């Protein structure tokens, strides 16, 4: 028997390692970074953080003591916890069903399932695997107490329940509900009075803890009852994740009504199966199926109560605990197959499917989680910016990479590289143009870091904004302003130098095939149509479907047509700006063949405003002076009756 279990554990470990080994190459993720920083420089904040899930703080503190900055060590623990939790789940199911086959199949499937796979490669979510281990052990200790009621077993059962409560006072509530449900069906299973008292105590601790530490009341769902559709949409995604690859979702937008309705239908059918099974199935089958169904719904439901606006798929961290119930039901069904050869075929097929789906999930995360890429990004940023809280970093580029590499981690990776021990020393990190504009214009005067508010210098020196462009491959490029280039050994920049830095051909001209509006044209470049947005100007809208035609918009559009229609133009980049904007338009200065700068002519003659998009461009000073003169002379759109004349036409 022992030899059989040793072989089983060895095989299970091998499968888990094969499936999740790429995780060892992952960098820290999201909340991991600031908890890593607090473990290094502010241990007091670490212990106060995530007070609703104390086990998370313990995990970070212990792993920091063991591994410090050895990331492979941190990530290997995630794989180890998945393997250990699979072994414990296997034993737990075996004890519940008294069926060794069911237990072993459950362990194998749980070791490789994509359900709750976030918990494998995300340090902050390792707690999910620890909770699974704690809950299964606690359940088995209460079962021991039911089989042999001694003071020792009583003390052990209560202690395990208390430990599970302290690890996560929020999720203990659905666990206690499942344990109580199971005990109600097992008349001689557990001392009911003791369990009820202990459960009431655990729930009281959970409520008191949440009330003490939570900034809200933990009942956000009361104000979002319409978002209940997220439960059904997410549960449908949860079950589909076991069998088909789904795009990962962690969305705060309203749920998809069609998917939610299908999810409701699925739940109603399952309820019908449970009702029918109560009458027709064996007592053991009913107990297992009903308990695991309650486990799945309640373990996810507690997360929905706290964050009802979230729609997720099965790989999400919130589904890690629910995964235990789903895999148990699947294994129980496989074990019920009468013919052993058929049972083996079904098991191996599902096992291979689960491994394939998990590997696909990990492979999709690899480009944004790769430690080498993440390290290179932050080292490149570190190489270009000085220390100081009057420094800002603005990141543009591929939306997915900016969201996951920069916005999700915040400034903490750079704080670790520069060894910044006080948030007062942190530079600002801006990944949103609206936020950047608010900061640079003085509308936003403070920033919150780890629950504390820090002032932002007002007015903010735009020469202290360091711009970077991050592409879809994780390659980051520094886009310096003229002043920053001056500060790094280039003392004088004339037009020729700027063109060389921009690597732009000086005498290459392109045919203009259409004028979209006053500040946007379409040109033909090597047989391909490219939309060009003129740098440094903004003209009234005439084509934006979200807005009415604005005053002087047609005049500005007609002026641009007059200047460039049917002509050839030169397109010059600006070293301070990225190559394209968020709409994939080229950002360029547009020159006619006589070297007339179209951007400036439109401002000179009052057809355009000067416009700076977050970061100052090379000719900003010249354009602003042109706008001032046009305004003083009251020409074009600056005329007092400009709108009246435009409407009259």
Q: What is the CATH number of the domain that holds 620?
A: 2.40.50.90
Question: Is residue 261 domain-shared with residue 325, that is, in the same domain?
Answer: yes
Backbone torsions φ then ψ of 504, nearest 5 degrees: -110, 130
The pLDDT-based confidence of 20 (bands split at 50, 70, 90) is very high
Q: What is the mean pLDDT of residues 126-139?
A: 94
Query: Lowest mean pLDDT: which of 212-216, 336-340, 367-371, 535-539?
Result: 212-216
pLDDT at 250: 55
pLDDT at 505: 46
Backbone torsions φ then ψ of 422, nearest 5 degrees: -130, 130
pLDDT at 637: 86
Q: Which of 405, 541, 610, 627 is flagged as catalytic? A: 541
pLDDT at 496: 45
Read off the pLDDT of residues 617-631 as tens digits, 9 standing for 90 and up. Answer: 888 889 999 999 999
Closest CA to 587 of 540, 519, 640: 519
Angle at 351 between CA 326 and CA 137, to 5 degrees: 45
Read off the pLDDT of residues 574-611 as tens digits, 9 standing for 90 and up. Answer: 877 888 887 889 999 999 988 899 999 999 999 999 99
d(CA 333, CA 344): 12
The secondary structure element, H or E, covering residue 11 is helix 2-20
Backbone torsions φ then ψ of 212, nearest 5 degrees: -75, -45
d(CA 457, CA 584): 33
Q: Annotated catalytic, 622?
A: no
Is 303 part of any domain?
yes
d(CA 299, CA 490): 60
Residues with Cβ < 8 Å from 163, sequence gap 6 or more?
134, 138
pLDDT at 128: 93
Report yes or no: 506 and 560 within 8 Å, Cβ to Cβ.
no
What is the tally of structural domains in the chain?
Answer: 3
Q: Which two tokens stand for residue 94?
A: 């075996």
Q: What is the pTM of this model?
A: 0.75
Q: Which two tokens stand for residue 551?
A: 């005053």
The pLDDT-based confidence of 251 (bands split at 50, 70, 90) is low
Query: Of 344, 368, 392, which marks where a domain is finished?
Result: 368
Is 170 part of any domain?
yes
Question: Is residue 325 domain-shared with residue 404, that is, in the same domain?
Answer: no
Is 491 part of any domain?
no
Dihedral angle computed from the Cα positions of residues 232, 237, 239 and 240, in that order, rounded to the nearest 10 degrees: 140
Q: Say if strands 465-470 and 392-397 run parallel, antiparallel, or are unpaired.
A: parallel
Question: Is residue 529 domain-shared with residue 407, that is, in the same domain?
Answer: no
Report yes or no: 522 and 581 within 8 Å, Cβ to Cβ.
no
Kindly calculate the radius of gyration of the chain based on its CA atoms and give it in whole angstroms. 31
- Terminal Cα distance for the chain, rounded: 94
Helix, strand, coil tally for the chain in percent (to 5):
60, 10, 30
Cα 355 to chain centroid distance, Å, stands at 23
The pLDDT-based confidence of 206 (bands split at 50, 70, 90) is low
d(CA 543, CA 463): 34
Is 47 part of any domain?
yes
Report yes or no: 456 and 447 within 8 Å, Cβ to Cβ.
yes
Reduced to 3 states (helix: H, G, I; strand: E, B; else coil), residue 154 is helix
The pLDDT-based confidence of 545 (bands split at 50, 70, 90) is very low
pLDDT at 254: 57
Q: What is the mean pLDDT of the chain?
A: 83
Query: Of 430, 460, 479, which marks where a domain is finished?
Result: 479
Q: Which two tokens stand for residue 464?
A: 């202290």
Burial pattern 498-518, b for ≥16 Cβ within 10 A else e, equals: bbebbebeeeeebebeebbbb
Report yes or no: 548 and 638 within 8 Å, Cβ to Cβ.
no
Q: Annotated catalytic, 287?
A: no
d(CA 392, CA 390): 7
Q: What is the 3-state secondary structure (H, E, C) of 499-552?
A: HHHHCCCCCCEEEEEEEEECCEEEEEECCEEEEEEECCEECCCCCCCCCCCCCC
Write down the H helix ranges in 21-68.
Answer: 31-41, 43-48, 54-67
Query: Lowest mean pLDDT: which of 77-91, 322-336, 569-583?
Result: 569-583
d(CA 235, CA 478): 43
Q: Annotated catalytic, 472?
A: no
Read off the pLDDT of residues 327-372 as tens digits, 9 standing for 90 and up. Answer: 999 999 999 998 999 999 999 999 999 999 999 899 888 888 888 8
pLDDT at 490: 37
The pLDDT-based confidence of 192 (bands split at 50, 70, 90) is low
Question: Is residue 325 domain-shared with residue 352, that is, in the same domain?
Answer: yes
d(CA 604, CA 41): 54
DSSP 8-state class, residue 313: -
Report yes or no: 137 and 161 within 8 Å, Cβ to Cβ.
no
Question: Is residue 538 domain-shared with residue 459, that is, in the same domain?
Answer: no
Query: Of 368, 398, 423, which marks where a domain is finished?
Result: 368
Report yes or no: 119 and 132 within 8 Å, Cβ to Cβ.
no
d(CA 599, CA 649): 25
pLDDT at 489: 38
Beta partners for residue 466, in sequence order: 393
Is 355 part of any domain?
yes
DSSP 8-state class, residue 442: T
Backbone torsions φ then ψ of 389, nearest 5 degrees: -80, 0
The pLDDT-based confidence of 392 (bands split at 50, 70, 90) is confident
Question: Is residue 442 domain-shared with residue 299, that is, in the same domain?
Answer: no
Q: Which residue has the tokens 């449970």?
A: 274
Q: Which two tokens stand for residue 73?
A: 């060590």
Question: Is residue 426 domain-shared with residue 544, that is, in the same domain?
Answer: no
For residue 647, pLDDT over 50 is answered with no
Is 599 part of any domain?
yes
Question: Is residue 86 domain-shared with residue 196, that is, in the same domain?
Answer: yes
pLDDT at 51: 58
Is 59 part of any domain?
yes
d(CA 99, CA 90): 10
Q: Which of 171, 317, 585, 588 is flagged as catalytic? A: 585
Domain that holds residue 603: 506-648
Is 494 part of any domain?
no
Q: What is the mean pLDDT of residues 492-513?
A: 59
Read off the pLDDT of residues 393-402 as tens digits, 9 standing for 90 and up. Answer: 888 888 888 8
DSSP 8-state class, residue 638: G
Q: What is the mean pLDDT of residues 429-440?
A: 79
Question: Is residue 531 domain-shared with residue 454, that is, in the same domain?
Answer: no
For residue 649, pLDDT over 80 is answered with no
Question: Is residue 151 domain-shared with residue 283, that is, in the same domain?
Answer: yes
Report yes or no: 556 and 582 within 8 Å, Cβ to Cβ.
no
d(CA 236, CA 244): 12
279 versus 288: the higher-pLDDT residue is 288
Q: Which of 82, 533, 570, 588 is flagged as catalytic? A: 533
Question: Is residue 84 domain-shared with residue 188, that is, in the same domain?
Answer: yes
d(CA 268, CA 286): 17
Query: Lowest mean pLDDT: which of 82-86, 291-295, 504-508?
Result: 504-508
For residue 211, pLDDT over 80 is answered with no
Question: Is residue 126 domain-shared with residue 8, that is, in the same domain?
Answer: yes
């Amino acid at each position: 028997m022992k030899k059989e279990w040793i072989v089983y554990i060895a095989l299970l470990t091998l499968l888990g390692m094969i499936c999740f080994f790429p995780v060892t190459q992952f960098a820290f993720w999201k909340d991991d970074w600031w908890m890593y920083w607090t473990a290094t420089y502010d241990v007091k904040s670490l212990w106060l953080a995530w007070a609703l899930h104390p086990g998370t703080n313990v995990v970070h503190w212990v792993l920091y003591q063991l591994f410090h900055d050895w990331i492979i060590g941190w990530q290997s623990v995630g794989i180890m916890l998945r393997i250990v939790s699979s072994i414990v789940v296997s034993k737990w199911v075996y004890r519940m069903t008294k069926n060794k086959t069911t237990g072993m199949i459950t362990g194998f499937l749980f070791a490789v399932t994509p359900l709750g796979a976030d918990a494998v490669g995300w340090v902050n979510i390792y707690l999910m695997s620890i909770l699974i281990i704690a809950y299964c052990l606690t359940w088995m200790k209460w079962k021991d107490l039911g089989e042999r009621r001694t003071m020792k077993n009583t003390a052990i059962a209560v202690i395990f329940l208390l430990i599970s409560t302290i690890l996560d006072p929020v999720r203990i509530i659905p666990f206690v509900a499942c344990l109580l449900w199971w005990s109600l069906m097992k008349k001689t299973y557990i001392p009911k009075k003791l369990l009820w008292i202990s459960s009431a105590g655990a729930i009281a601790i959970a409520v008191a803890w949440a009330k003490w530490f939570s900034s809200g009341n933990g009942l956000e769902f009361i104000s979002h009852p319409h978002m209940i559709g997220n439960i059904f949409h997410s549960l449908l995604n949860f079950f589909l994740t076991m069998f088909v690859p789904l795009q990962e979702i962690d969305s705060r937008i309203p749920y998809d009504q069609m998917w939610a309705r299908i999810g409701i239908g699925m739940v109603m059918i399952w309820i019908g199966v449970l009702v029918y099974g109560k009458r027709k199935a064996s007592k053991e089958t009913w107990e297992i199926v009903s308990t695991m169904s309650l486990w799945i719904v309640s373990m996810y439901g507690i997360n929905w109560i706290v964050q009802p606006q979230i729609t997720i798929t099965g790989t999400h961290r919130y589904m890690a605990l629910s995964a235990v119930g789903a895999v148990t039901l699947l294994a129980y069904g496989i074990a019920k197959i009468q013919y052993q050869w058929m049972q083996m075929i079904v098991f191996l097929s599902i096992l291979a499917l689960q491994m394939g789906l998990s590997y696909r999930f990990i492979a999709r995360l690899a480009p944004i989680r790769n430690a080498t890429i993440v390290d290179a990004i932050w080292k490149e940023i570190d190489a270009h910016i000085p220390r100081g809280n009057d420094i800002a970093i603005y990141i543009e580029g591929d939306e997915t990479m900016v969201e996951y590499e920069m916005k999700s981690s915040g400034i903490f990776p750079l704080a670790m590289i520069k060894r910044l021990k006080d948030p007062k020393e942190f530079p600002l990190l801006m990944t949103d143009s609206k936020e950047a504009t608010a900061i640079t214009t003085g509308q936003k005067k403070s920033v919150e870091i780890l629950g504390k508010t820090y002032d932002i210098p007002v007015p903010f020196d735009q020469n202290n904004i360091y711009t970077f462009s991050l592409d879809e491959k994780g390659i980051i490029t520094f886009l310096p302003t003229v002043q920053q280039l001056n500060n790094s050994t280039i003392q004088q920049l004339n037009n020729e130098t700027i063109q060389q830095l921009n690597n732009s051909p000086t005498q290459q001209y392109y045919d203009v095939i259409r004028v979209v509006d006053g500040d946007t044209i379409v040109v033909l470049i090597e047989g391909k149509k490219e939309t060009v947005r003129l740098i440094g100007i903004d003209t009234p809208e005439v084509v934006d479907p979200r807005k009415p035609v604005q005053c002087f918009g047609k005049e500005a559009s007609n002026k641009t047509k007059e200047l460039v229609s049917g002509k050839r133009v030169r397109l010059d980049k600006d070293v301070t700006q990225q190559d394209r904007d968020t709409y994939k338009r080229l950002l360029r200065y547009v020159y006619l063949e006589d070297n007339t700068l179209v951007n400036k002519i439109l401002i000179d003659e009052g057809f355009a405003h000067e416009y700076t998009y977050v970061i100052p461009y090379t000719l900003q000073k010249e354009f602003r002076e042109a706008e001032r003169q046009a305004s003083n002379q009251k020409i074009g759109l600056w005329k007092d009756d400009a709108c009246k004349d435009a409407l009259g036409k």
